Amino acid sequence: MYALDDTIAAISTPVGKGGIGIVRLSGTEALAILRRLFVRSGRAARRLASHRLYHGAIVDPANGRRVDEVLAAYMRAPHTYTRQDVVEIDCHGGAAALREVLGLCLAAGARPALPGEFTLRALLNGRIDLAQAEAVLDVINAETEASLRVAVEQLGGRLSAHVRAVRRRLVEALAHLEASIDFPEDEIPERDVGADLAAGAAALRDLVQEAERGVLYRQGIRVAIVGRPNVGKSSLLNALLRQDRAIVTPIPGTTRDTVEETISLRGIPVVLTDTAGLGDSGDAIVRLGMERSRASMARADLVLLVVDSSCPPDDADRRVAADVAGRKVIVVANKTDLPAADGHEALLPGVPIVPVSALTGAGIEALEEQMAGAIRSGPATPGVEPLASNPRHRDLFRRALASVETAAAALAEGSGTDLVAIDVSDAVTALGQVTGETADEELLETIFSSYCIGK
pLDDT per residue over 162-182, tens digit each?
Answer: 999 999 999 999 999 998 887
pLDDT of 146 reads 82
Show the low-confidence residues of the chain (pLDDT under 70).
1-2, 43-46, 184-186, 244-258, 276-294, 377-384
- CATH classification code of 8-128: 3.30.1360.120
- pTM listed for this prediction: 0.78
User: Which of helix, strand or coil describes residue 186?
Assistant: coil
Q: Given this structure, which CATH class describes domain 135-215+390-435?
A: mainly alpha
**Sign (positive or negative) of CA dihedral 167, 169, 170, 171:** positive
Q: Name 50's Cβ contacts closer than 8 Å, sequence gap at least 6.
A: 74, 75, 76, 79
The domain spans of the chain are 8-128, 135-215+390-435, 225-375
Backbone φ and ψ of 191, nearest 5°: -150, 135
- Rounded to an integer, what distance in angstroms lies between the CA atom of residue 85 and that of residue 77? 5
- Rounded to an integer, what distance in angstroms lies between the CA atom of residue 174 and that of residue 164? 15
CATH topology of domain 225-375: Rossmann fold (3.40.50)
- Rounded to an integer, what distance in angstroms lies between the CA atom of residue 86 and that of residue 194? 49
